[in-house]
Amino acid sequence: MRSKYSAGARLERLPIAGFHRYVVWILAFAFFFELGDLNTLGYTAPAVEKAWHLKLTDIGNLTSWSFAGMFLGATLVGYISDLIGRKKSLITTVLIYSVFSLLNAFAMNLAEFSITRFLTGFGLSAMTVVGITYISEVFPAKKRGTYQGLIMTVGLAGIPITSFVSRLLIPVATWGWRLVFVWGALGFICALLAIRMKESPRWLENRGRFDDANRVTDEIEAIVSKEKGTLSEPVEEVKAVVAKKGWGELFSKRYGGRTVVLLLLWILQTLGFYGFVSWVPTLLVAHGFSLVHSLTWSFVMSIGAVPGAFIAYLFSDKIDRKWLVAIFAILIAGCGLIYGLTFNTAMIMVFGFLVNMFIQTFAPLLYAYTPELYPTEVRNSGSGLTYGAGRLFNIANGFIVPAIYGAAHHYSNVFIYIAACWLLLSVITFAFGPRTKGRALEIVSASEGTVSA
């Protein structure tokens, strides 16, 4: 039976309770290993390069295979999730990235490693897209960005911890790098815990499954009311719409402009983000620093990820995400440029720390911002396409970074390129990014245009 109120209206007025906290911890756990595994290639690349006598261009090709998998995973599973649901998609994608992370440890040559990294990337990006969409659909608008930031604060601890694990394991033996991928496979535990999660009522309602949507929302309300007492009456703002639209809607008159803006933001973010994170250890070694020093400095710098996400947790719902995205892009560009122009050890660590911190403040903001701009029927498709496009374009980094470095054998030029990506992203966001602060998903989706008022 269809409820008097839409699932969105019922979910929007709920206070944060045990249901939401369970979602936070499950997704934080998933992101912990997803984000850690996402960075393992950057930490292990110097050791793999040495063990297999690879060239810098070989590492670039390997990175490209990883991002090709990310593109396919984000776009394909983003679309599939709009068809089969968020919960099934989340469990499946976590299992995919965990299994293939383990298989990375058994690769015997560059060809096998390229295949396993491709399939690991498929699962990693697919899980990210499903995760950020699920957060946007079950948390109320006034807390959506805050809890995206909290999830990422916990999840991003996976980066420095994985960096520390790499620092311990890689120097142990010539095959020590393989153990880092075994560590990354532990994410499969999240798939087991996610079985207890609820399907998104917004998605169920959008597919015309009103009885299921009503039942799941009743279950969520019962969990919340048991902890918080009697719930307030929902305030209906926009009636639920049953629609089964595909990718074509992303380029319709209503949403086409937003799609173009998000495509540019994700492409530039990915080029800037992975241009720094994936290449810093390898470039430090290529510039004459030892492998142990490179890994040690990478670990120190990666610690900045956790306070960075915590900054997003504190401010995401207090200032419109449009402005925060643009401001932090400028901060990343400035700190990254200073990092690339200095060879003083202390300066390298300080500004490397700041770049990592601000990048991981930026990430939860864009993760929360992206699904807000689409309606439920294409929310995961839109998030997957734009996120995936960024990963696809990062294949170019596998050729651009070695080419820029090789032209003058001076890695400062690489960081000038990275800073330019972040500055352009900021300009586009300032000029064309829609505002979303405190608006229910249905309200944001229904508003016209891409230029904020």
pLDDT tens digits for range 247-300: 677 888 888 889 999 999 999 998 888 777 766 666 666 656 655 566 666 677
Residue pointed to by tokens 């994170």 = 277
> Residue 442: which residues within 8 A CB-CB, separation 6 or more?
6, 8, 237, 238, 240, 375
| 83 Cβ contact partners less than 8 Å away, ≥ 6 residues apart | none
> Tokens representing 47?
């050791």
CB burial of residue 394 (10 Å; 0-12, 13-18, 19+): buried
As a whole number of Å, the CA-based R_g of the chain is: 21
pLDDT at 246: 63
pLDDT at residue 452, as a whole number: 37
CB 243 within 8 A of CB 418: no
Q: What is the CATH number of domain 7-446?
A: 1.20.1250.20
Q: Which helix (H) or strand (E) holds 27?
A: helix 18-38
Question: What pLDDT shows up at residue 453?
Answer: 30
Q: Supply the DSSP symbol for 4.
A: S
Interval 292-324: pLDDT, tens: 566 666 677 777 777 888 888 888 778 888 999
Torsion of CA 307, 67, 95, 31, to 10 degrees: 10
Look at residue 395 in the predicted model and tell me its pLDDT: 77
Are 191 and 98 spatial neighbours (Cβ–Cβ below 8 Å)?
yes
Secondary structure class of 326 (helix, strand, coil): helix
In this prediction, residue 450 carries a pLDDT of 41
Give the span between the Cα atoms of 145 and 152, in whole angstroms: 10
Low-confidence ranges of the chain (pLDDT < 50): 448-453
